[in-house]
């Protein structure tokens, strides 16, 4: 699925400054914080989305790239903006100081994640998905088979007797300065506050089974090789916690004839000398099918023709690219005696003497017109 605009996520206009961005993120994070919305998957996703937006817009360099190129400008650059799986602990450690003071989130939620039961998350899964040029151009829904750990049917849990469901154990140490209290994750339940009560025989010690699942994936138009998409909650499950994410790495299959250049596609058209000199109607391939184009009389090698809207849809919804046809006049390498005689008779013709004037554009001039 296509990402929402980061300014839209934080409720800001394009010209928002650093203070506005920080204030907007603080407001969103407080509203959708997991400790304020326990068990609400939608709130957690909005919390992650806001963190991702802030991670990019609060960084001047990333913000500049995003303002100029959109999501493509910050993909693959690390952090949340790189399209990777969102980790709640990373968000808290990186953005905890956004609320000021040393308490971070905890000062707003009465100890929050620091003083209560910690919600654990299962591990992420990563798969590669091959897509061809037509699928890249228009988007596609694919179904893939994924083996992931899931909580088995019939598994039940009970409150951990060691931590009494808090997920933490406290230790009191007497020092010269008095008693010091430290807290750590409960070793019996791993910080979840629950332990397995009953489980079927075919489940492992954690109550999990390895199960194959068919998962539909919507690939948006405009994705590129190496891009990473994320499906929340489709990774490995974990008892007493939330499932990890499924990370889909795009692997773009090269087309036999067309070459991709951003949202444009490029086709090398080879024509014979006669067609270039006299003009012709020639059939050329596009992403979808084939179309006929008109080659004007006197077409020079290196001329670039454009087919509007025959390229790839933009990932951020900004229109569609074009197909650029690069004309190459083919010079025959072998000629019959009769062919040689015909060409020799034309060698001294005034019309066959190269005479490029200022009106003839160089290759670089032609490229500047299109790019």
Residues in the chain: 371
- Checking DSSP bridges between strand 125-131 and strand 246-252, what pairing results, if any? parallel
Q: Are 127 and 144 in contact, with CB atoms under 8 Å apart?
A: yes
Go through 116-144 and write b for each residue having 16 or more CB atoms within 10 A of its CB, e for each that does not. Answer: bbbbbbbebbeeeeebebebbbbbbeeee
CB-CB contact of 12 with 21 (8 Å)? yes
Instruction: State the Cα–Cα distance between residues 285 and 106, nearest whole angstrom.
Output: 60
160 is in an annotated binding site: yes
CB 235 within 8 A of CB 244: yes
Sign of the C-alpha dihedral, residues 106, 108, 109, 110?
positive
Is residue 25 within 8 A of residue 53, CB to CB? The reply is yes
Alpha-helix residue ranges (DSSP H) falling in 33-82: 41-57, 60-69
CA distance linking residue 237 with residue 181, whole number of Å: 33
| DSSP H or E stretch at residue 281 | strand 280-285
Task: Give yes or no for a contact between 238 and 120, defined as CB atoms under 8 angstroms apart.
Answer: yes
Ligand-binding site membership of 186 (annotated): yes
The span from the CA of 199 to the CA of 188, in Å, is 17
Residues 6+ apart with CB under 8 A from 226: 76, 249, 250
| Cα dihedral value 97, 103, 105, 111, nearest 10 | 160
The annotation places the binding site for Zn(2+) at 160, 163, 186, 189
The annotation places the binding site at 160, 163, 186, 189
């Amino acid at each position: 699925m296509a990402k929402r605009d980061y300014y839209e996520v934080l409720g800001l206009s394009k010209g928002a400054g650093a203070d506005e961005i920080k204030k907007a993120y603080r407001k969103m994070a407080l509203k959708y914080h997991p400790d304020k919305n326990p068990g609400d998957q939608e709130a957690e996703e909005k919390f992650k989305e806001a963190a991702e937006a802030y991670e990019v817009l609060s960084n001047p360099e990333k913000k500049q790239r995003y303002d100029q190129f959109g999501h493509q400008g910050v993909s693959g650059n690390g952090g949340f903006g790189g399209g990777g799986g969102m980790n709640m602990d990373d968000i808290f450690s990186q953005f905890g100081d956004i609320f000021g003071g040393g308490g971070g989130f905890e000062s707003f939620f009465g100890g929050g994640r620091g003083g209560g039961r910690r919600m654990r998350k299962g591990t992420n899964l990563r798969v590669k998905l091959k897509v061809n040029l037509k699928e890249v151009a228009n988007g596609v829904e694919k179904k893939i088979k994924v083996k992931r750990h899931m909580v088995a049917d019939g598994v039940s849990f009970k409150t951990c007797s060691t931590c009494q469901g808090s997920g933490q154990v406290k230790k009191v140490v007497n020092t010269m300065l008095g008693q010091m209290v430290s807290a750590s994750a409960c070793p019996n339940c791993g910080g979840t506050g629950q332990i397995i009560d009953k489980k079927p025989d075919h489940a492992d010690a954690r109550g999990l089974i390895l199960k194959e699942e068919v998962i539909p994936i919507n690939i948006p138009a405009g994705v590129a090789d190496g891009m990473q998409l994320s499906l929340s909650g489709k990774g490995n499950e974990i008892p007493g916690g939330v499932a990890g994410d499924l990370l889909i790495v795009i692997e773009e299959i090269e087309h036999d004839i067309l070459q991709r250049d951003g949202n444009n596609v490029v086709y090398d058209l080879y024509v014979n000398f006669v067609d270039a000199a006299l003009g012709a109607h020639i059939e050329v391939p596009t992403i979808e099918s084939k179309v006929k184009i008109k080659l004007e009389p006197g077409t020079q090698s290196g001329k670039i023709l454009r087919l509007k809207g025959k390229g790839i849809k933009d990932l951020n919804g900004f229109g569609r690219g074009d197909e650029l046809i690069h004309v190459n006049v083919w010079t025959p390498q072998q000629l019959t005696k009769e062919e040689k005689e015909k060409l020799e008779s034309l060698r001294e013709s005034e019309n066959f003497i190269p005479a490029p004037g200022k009106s003839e554009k160089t290759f670089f001039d032609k490229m500047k017109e299109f790019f």
